[in-house]
Amino acid sequence: MGRGGRERKGQPGARALDVAALAGVSTATVSRAFNAPEKVAPEIREKVLKAAAELGWMPHPAGAALASRRTWLAGVLIPTLDNDVFASQVGALQTRLSADGVTVLIGCSNYDADQAANQVRTMLARGVEALAVVGESHRPGLFETISARGVPYVVTYSHRPGSPHPSVGFDNAAAFRRIARHLLDLGHRDFGLIHQPSIDNDRVVARIEGLRAALAEEGVALRPPHVREGPASIAFGRESLRSIMEAPGPRPTAVVCGNDALAIGALIEARALGIGVPEELSITGFDDVAMAEQTDPPLTTMRVDNAEIGRRAADYLLACLAGRQPPPPPPLESRLILRASTGAPTAPRVLSDAQRSL
């Protein structure tokens, strides 16, 4: 309310000087309240914000950036928007950065390395001060380009021992080794694998390597007809499970899937083929999406705290922007969630002609 109890309307031509006069502070304090709020006492900043709101005044972003020699922008590069995993990660990162006045620009590569490189170049041209990039598999020179600009960056959703990059994530190879070990301990020796495209995807490559290494320790190998690579979708999971189970030779008693969507598709197709899960076939997923607990049977899968990845990535970048030299973030631990889609193998059953024709 203004003087005399009248409501003060926003003034189209309001200036920082007007805000300062209404709040009873200097124009420098008004500038700091918006551009360096940590330098202003909370009660003073509240008075400035209230005055600015009454006058309908906002600092000009270009002017603020010029005055502070900062853009207050950070970039995030993800491979797809069609995945809860990355949505959770970006949401948490954005929440943490915005609390410090940093706005997030999001680039999506659609799993295309050239698009990824173009997105990074565009964000650098827009003046981003920090970058979070999913994965290490990118076009040669990408990280060197970022470093040459003096822009701090962090790799997310991956934490590879010996990596030259600061990373916030988990060991993908170790996560798949843990899944394989669980199935091997149950007594499985015939395996199938359904996974996402591995080109330019270091996370998928690491998972496959982890699975193969764990199986090799027990003298077990994946047969080529039992390995399927394609879109990370329910439809591909269904198609792949049918192809694997109809391949000549011994049928797998366990199928490892690269994510929960593929695993849910495999569960649906197993039911359509009359294959009991887990009595005749064990199926595992990855990510522990909300639907994983609601399938029939509930899905054994690997849980990763994607929101925590986003928060840790933001904290690392904020520390860099504050002029500190933070140590490399420690890896997160993935957690195997045991549910009813895995069990000890039983004697295999041959598909009938009627089931094959479904």
Q: What is the model's pLDDT at position 116?
A: 96
Fold held by 73-170+306-333: Rossmann fold (3.40.50)
Instruction: Grade residue 10 by pLDDT with cuts at 50, 70 and 90.
Output: very low
Instruction: Grade residue 83 by pLDDT with cuts at 50, 70 and 90.
Output: confident
Domain boundaries, the chain: 16-68, 73-170+306-333, 172-296+338-356
Q: What is the model's pLDDT at position 229?
A: 98
CA distance 22 to 4: 15
pLDDT for residue 256 is more than 50: yes
Instruction: Grade residue 1 by pLDDT with cuts at 50, 70 and 90.
Output: very low
Architecture of domain 172-296+338-356: 3-Layer(aba) Sandwich (3.40)
pLDDT for residue 8 is more than 80: no
Q: 241 Cβ partners below 8 Å, 6+ apart?
A: 192, 194, 255, 265, 266, 269, 270, 273
pTM attached to this predicted model: 0.79
pLDDT tens, 132-187?
A: 999 999 999 999 999 998 999 999 999 988 899 999 999 999 999 999 999 999 99
Instruction: Grade residue 353 by pLDDT with cuts at 50, 70 and 90.
Output: low
Nearest to 279, CA basis, from 225, 329, 342: 342
Asked if domains 73-170+306-333 and 172-296+338-356 share a fold, the reply is yes
Q: 16-68 domain in CATH 1.10.260.40?
A: yes
Q: What is the model's pLDDT at position 62?
A: 52
pLDDT tens, 191-248?
A: 999 999 999 999 999 999 999 999 999 999 999 999 999 999 999 999 999 999 999 9
